[in-house]
Amino acid sequence: MNLSRRKMRSTLVCLITLISLSFNSAALAEPTEGTAKTKLSRNQLSDEEQEILEDGPISDGAYIAGGVLGTVIGLGIGHAVQGRYGERGWIFTAGELVAASMYVSGLEDCVERTFTNNSCDELNSTGQIGAIALLGLRIWEIVDVWAAPPSYNKRYRRIKRKIGENPDDEEARMNFILLPVAKNSAGVTAGVQFRF
């Protein structure tokens, strides 16, 4: 009976392994545009789509370096590294500079009141608005610098398929991995791999 249990376990592990190796989320992905009969020429694309094709995808290095710089320094620097300064980076440069100057103006007023009245209980409304705007812009910038490039690259790949060309980089995918462990063990190792 012990031998048949081992055979059942090993058969089950092999079956699960084969199923998991054949399962790939690319089969579940949305249908691609531009395949087979619906290929378009570059002239039929919108100006925005043509610009995306000319700019190309955002590389992994630019994505990570821009994400780190945009998170740590801000001011649209991360967007510039990713090649997206004209699209949205300038908003963070201008907005953060204006918000920071409003905040400093409020602090200056507070310091002046401290020397004349010996107290500054709260920041004036200009300083408060500047502080809130600066905080909001920083949060928006951090989210955008990390979240937008994968969407941009996905759109780039979709446009490439639309005109009948293969994207330069790999297709975004998610793989499930399930492998048997050791010879004398009935365990299984599982994992998930993401690529965007």
Q: What is the pLDDT of residue 20?
A: 55
Residue 129 forms part of a structural domain: yes
Same structural domain, 114 and 183 = no
Residue 157 forms part of a structural domain: yes
Residue 37 forms part of a structural domain: yes
Residue 4 forms part of a structural domain: no
Domain membership of residue 25 as a residue range = 13-29+173-196
Q: How many domains does the chain have?
A: 2
Same structural domain, 61 and 157 = yes
Does residue 19 carry a pLDDT above 80?
no
What is the spatial distance between Cα 67 and Cα 74, in angstroms, rounded to a whole number?
Answer: 10
Same structural domain, 156 and 189 = no
Same structural domain, 177 and 111 = no
Same structural domain, 20 and 102 = no
Which one-letter DSSP state was computed for residue 48? H
Q: What is the pLDDT of residue 88?
A: 92
What mean pLDDT do residues 116-130 have? Answer: 80
Same structural domain, 100 and 145 = yes
Same structural domain, 75 and 103 = yes
Residue 191 forms part of a structural domain: yes
Same structural domain, 61 and 142 = yes
CA angle 168, 173, 176 (to 5 degrees): 145
Same structural domain, 193 and 120 = no
Residue 6 forms part of a structural domain: no
Closest among 160, 158, 159, 150 to 195, alpha carbons compared: 150
- pLDDT tens-digit readout, 38-82: 677 767 788 888 888 888 899 999 999 999 999 999 999 999 999
Same structural domain, 104 and 130 = yes
Place of tokens 């004036």: 124
Residue 1 forms part of a structural domain: no
Binning pLDDT at 50, 70 and 90, where does residue 185 land?
low
User: Taking the complete model, does pTM exceed 0.75, yes or no?
Assistant: no
Place of tokens 């790999």: 170
Residue 2 forms part of a structural domain: no
What sign for the dihedral angle of Cα 9, 11, 13, 15?
negative
Looking at per-residue pLDDT, the higher value among 182 and 123 belongs to: 123
Backbone phi, psi, residue 169, to 5°: -105, 170
Same structural domain, 111 and 49 = yes
